[in-house]
């Protein structure tokens, strides 16, 4: 497993789900702001097709395998990885995804990450249709 070290003087961020709907749009924004980006995703072949692939440190990562990446002294974590989105109502999200995400976030905090942001794509607002607003109450 790779051990990626960064100097604290650099702005550095880990992005999980880097090839997903949110991640693939966020990574170029971070690069534009001169962040050192550690992009994590399950599918390296998909990652290689993205224009920013050669500008990040990419690591194949799947929350379900239980193997934590060894990234130390990174400033922030933007956690966008979530499995099985096609079935919003499945208990899989509570029984597996939530537990795995919490374990991952704890591991990153123990390795020196000081700021964490977790984002989803919509279901935080419950089963709704139509436009959503960030000021809406989560459900």
pLDDT, one tens digit for every residue, the chain (139 residues): 344 444 444 799 999 999 998 999 999 999 999 999 999 999 999 999 999 999 999 999 998 887 888 888 889 999 998 776 667 666 656 677 778 889 899 999 999 999 999 887 666 777 777 887 878 887 7
Instruction: Order across the sheet with 57-60: list the strands.
Output: 57-60, 36-41, 12-16, 76-79, 115-118
Evaluate whether 93 touches 55 at the Cβ level (below 8 Å): no
Question: What tokens appear for 91 in the block?
Answer: 């208990």
DSSP string, 13-70: EEEETTTSTTHHHHHHHHHHTT-EEEEEES-HHHHHTSTTGGGSEEEE--GGG-PPPE
């Amino acid at each position: 497993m790779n051990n990626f070290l960064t100097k604290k003087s650099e702005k550095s961020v880990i992005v999980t789900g880097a090839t997903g709907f949110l991640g693939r749009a966020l990574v170029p924004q971070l690069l534009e702001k001169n962040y050192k980006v550690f992009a994590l995703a399950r599918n390296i072949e998909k990652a290689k097709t993205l224009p920013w692939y050669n500008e990040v440190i990419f690591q194949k990562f799947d929350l379900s395998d239980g193997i934590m990446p060894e990234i130390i002294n990174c400033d922030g974590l933007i956690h966008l990885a979530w499995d099985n989105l096609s079935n919003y109502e499945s208990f899989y999200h509570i029984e597996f995804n939530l537990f795995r995400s919490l374990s991952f976030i704890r591991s990153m905090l123990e390795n020196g990450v000081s700021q964490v942001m977790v984002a989803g794509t919509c279901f935080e607002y419950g089963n709704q249709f139509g436009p959503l607003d960030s000021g809406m109450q989560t459900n």
